[in-house]
């Protein structure tokens, strides 16, 4: 996200000029050659003395003595001949894009220690005056030094958190954050308030599912609570604990319930180079749509095919890693659902799953990126199989279900699922598509195969751009450049999707459905959003074709 004319930092531009003057006395001016070099200062902390805006780590790029960009997104090493690492130093001064910058970087937070402002010769590690560097104690980033690559302070594990967690969840300025020598963490919460209204339903649909108008109304889709943090070893371990009062992330094995459920309990341990071992209840590494947090997707519900053929979560171990230079990631996991199933481990369903991603094309500033993904999932038949889903509305009945023919849980030797991903994002535009195919090994049923796909597009009208995490091959949330509390209008995104799923094959008649959706999301702040979705559904059961349509609205609140 680009920050233009963000603010005049800390105690004001006048004081900054006074402090800069003091710095000019003992410091020699940079040479002409040095001033001509493009300069990139990484990992600078922007602070707001009023406390109205959250601290933000940014990168500052200057060309020919003029400020070109201040960005929370990664700026490539190749953009400048001279690259410095501020190591989370605090900036004081004036940042005006297109003008000669005047600012300094302080090694300590002046809000916590006023002596920092009284002794700038000691605490000022970098200073630039009218575009000329007059002091520099920062580390220069070597072309081959990976330790000084931009640090997002982001999520350690392959699977991102299901709710909003600050980009730097180690941020000690958060009021809901706790810190000790051995353990630290942050408490989060979210509530999604939905309302569904069924608009049309033809006679065939009435005969298939009854009058869906009986399901009109609002609901608390979920009240979710989370605790995330670190165990403070030399290389910190990250823990995640999430619970909810309702089914937020659905899958074919998840039903709606008002009882409290633990959705995530996971420990993420740094492992070999560029890899992490995640142990506990978590998402399987398959499908970008499944791995992304539901509330951050362009539409309010996942595609029907993803909910039909993939589970929400499973208990197991995932080993994941990435290759920074090749823009690729990989993850492999083994799972067994015996916990809570009143069965032994050997009798539980054992699943092997894996996913690899690659970004074969990425522009230098990563505003234009192409993503490819391939995933496989294999499960033994110990617990049998049943697939089905509602038509991308929570307040609905299953429109496809392998049990429609009264077959119940399908006995089979095993099940295999293939998932293919293709995404392209250019600035605020994002096009994405996925294909799913599940095959059962079952003699007498003709080894039935179920498949489907979706194609979707989104456009952030206010110009923000979803980030891309090469560590796990996932696109991020909608950033809010200027929230309503800052006098802006937040971020507005429009989206459309077409999805289809077919559970008819062999001796199984689970139905077919196609869903066309359009929606709009308005993020007033990073923690408050309003959404509306309209869907038109074509459904076929036993040769009879029904049509329905409905609209759903959502208000999302997350703990800041």
Res. 253: pLDDT tops 90: no
Q: What's the predicted TM-score (pTM) here?
A: 0.72
Q: What is the mean pLDDT of residues 73-101?
A: 80
The predicted pLDDT at position 7 comes to 36
The predicted pLDDT at position 300 comes to 93
> Which H or E run includes 204?
helix 203-209
Beta strands in 314-448 (DSSP E): 314-323, 328-336, 350-362, 368-380, 388-389, 400-401, 414-426, 429-441
- Half-sphere exposure of residue 318: CA atoms within 13 angstroms, side-chain side: 26
Nearest to 13 by CA among 38, 44, 49, 40: 49
Instruction: Collapse the DSSP code of 387 into the 3-class scheme (helix H, G, I; strand E, B; otherwise coil) and give the result.
Output: coil
pLDDT in tens, 416-433: 999 999 999 999 999 999
Instruction: Collapse the DSSP code of 116 into the 3-class scheme (helix H, G, I; strand E, B; otherwise coil) and give the result.
Output: helix
Q: Which residues are registered as beta bridge partners of 128?
A: 103, 133
139 vs 41, 74, 85, 144, 552, CA distance in Å?
A: 10, 18, 6, 14, 52
Q: What is the mean pLDDT of residues 13-17?
A: 45
The predicted pLDDT at position 6 comes to 36
The predicted pLDDT at position 351 comes to 95
Mean of all residue pLDDT scores within the chain: 81
- Give the length of the chain: 560
Task: Quote the CA–CA distance of 123 and 138 in Å, as a whole number.
Answer: 12
Q: What is the DSSP letter of 167?
A: S
Residue pair 464/497 in contact (Cβ under 8 Å)? The answer is no
Res. 126: pLDDT tops 60: yes
Q: Is the dihedral of CA 363, 365, 370, 376 positive or negative?
A: positive
- CA torsion, points 85, 91, 94, 98, in degrees to nearest 10? 20
Res. 23: pLDDT tops 80: no
pLDDT in tens, 460-492: 999 888 988 888 899 988 988 788 887 789 999
277 is written with which tokens? 């071992």
Q: What single string gives the DSSP state of each residue in 222-236?
A: EEEEEEEEEE-SSS-
Task: Quote the CA–CA distance of 343 and 334 in Å, as a whole number.
Answer: 18
Instruction: Identify the weakest region by mean pLDDT among 13-22, 64-73, 192-201.
Output: 13-22
Q: What is the mean pLDDT of residues 212-240?
A: 85
Kindly state the percentage of the chain with pLDDT values over 90: 37
The predicted pLDDT at position 160 comes to 61
Angle at 221 between CA 217 and CA 223, to 5 degrees: 140
The predicted pLDDT at position 21 comes to 45
């Amino acid at each position: 996200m680009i920050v233009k004319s963000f603010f005049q930092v800390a105690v004001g531009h006048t004081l900054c000029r006074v402090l800069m003057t003091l710095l000019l006395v003992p410091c020699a001016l940079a040479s002409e050659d040095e001033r001509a070099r493009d300069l990139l200062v990484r990992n600078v902390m922007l602070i707001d003395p009023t406390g109205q805006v959250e601290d933000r780590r940014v990168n500052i790029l200057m060309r020919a003595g003029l400020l070109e960009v201040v960005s929370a997104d990664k700026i490539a090493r190749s953009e400048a001949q001279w690259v410095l690492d501020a190591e989370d130093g605090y900036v004081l001064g004036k940042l005006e894009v297109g003008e000669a910058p005047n600012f300094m970087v302080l090694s300590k937070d002046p809000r916590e220690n006023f002596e920092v402002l009284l002794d700038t010769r000691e605490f000022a590690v970098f200073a630039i005056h009218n575009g000329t560097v007059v002091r520099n104690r920062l580390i220069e980033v070597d072309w081959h030094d990976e330790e000084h690559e931009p640090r997002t302070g982001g999520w350690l594990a392959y699977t991102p958190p299901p709710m909003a967690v600050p980009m730097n969840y180690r941020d000690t300025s958060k009021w809901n954050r706790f810190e000790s020598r051995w353990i630290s963490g942050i408490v989060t919460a979210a509530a999604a308030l939905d309302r569904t209204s069924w608009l049309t339903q033809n006679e065939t649909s009435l005969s298939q599912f009854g009058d869906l108008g009986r399901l009109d109304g609002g609901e608390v889709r979920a009240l979710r609570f989370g605790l995330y943090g670190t165990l403070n070893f030399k290389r910190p371990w990250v823990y995640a604990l999430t619970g909810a009062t309702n089914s937020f992330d659905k899958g074919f094995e998840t039903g709606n319930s008002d009882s409290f459920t633990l959705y995530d309990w996971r420990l993420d341990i740094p492992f070999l180079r560029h890899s992490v071992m995640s142990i506990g209840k978590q998402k399987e590494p398959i499908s970008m749509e499944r791995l992304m947090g539901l509330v951050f997707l362009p539409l309010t519900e996942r595609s029907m095919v993803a909910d039909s053929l993939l589970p929400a979560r499973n208990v197991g171990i995932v080993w994941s890693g990435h290759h920074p230079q090749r823009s690729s990631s990989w993850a492999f996991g083994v799972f067994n659902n015996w916990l809570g199933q009143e069965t032994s481990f050997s009798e539980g369903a054992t699943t092997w799953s894996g996913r690899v991603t690659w970004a074969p094309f990425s522009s230098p500033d990563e505003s234009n990126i192409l993503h490819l993904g391939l995933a496989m999932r294999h499960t033994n038949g110990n617990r049998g199989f049943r697939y089905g889903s509602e038509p991308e509305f929570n307040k609905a009945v299953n429109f496809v279900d392998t049990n429609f023919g009264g077959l119940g849980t399908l006995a089979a030797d095993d099940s295999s699922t293939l998932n293919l991903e293709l995404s392209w994002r250019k600035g605020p535009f994002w096009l994405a598509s996925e294909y799913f195919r599940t095959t059962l090994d079952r003699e007498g049923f003709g080894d039935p195969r179920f498949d489907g796909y979706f194609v979707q597009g989104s456009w952030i009208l206010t110009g923000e751009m979803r980030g891309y995490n090469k560590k796990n091959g996932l696109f991020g949330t909608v950033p809010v450049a200027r929230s309503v509390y800052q006098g802006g209008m937040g971020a507005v995104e429009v989206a459309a999707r077409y999805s289809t799923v077919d559970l008819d094959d062999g001796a199984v008649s689970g139905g077919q459905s196609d869903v066309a959706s359009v929606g709009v999301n308005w993020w007033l702040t990073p923690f408050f959003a309003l959404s509306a979705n309209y869907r038109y559904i074509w459904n076929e059961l036993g040769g009879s074709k029904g049509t329905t349509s409905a609209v759903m609205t959502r208000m999302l609140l997350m703990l800041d």
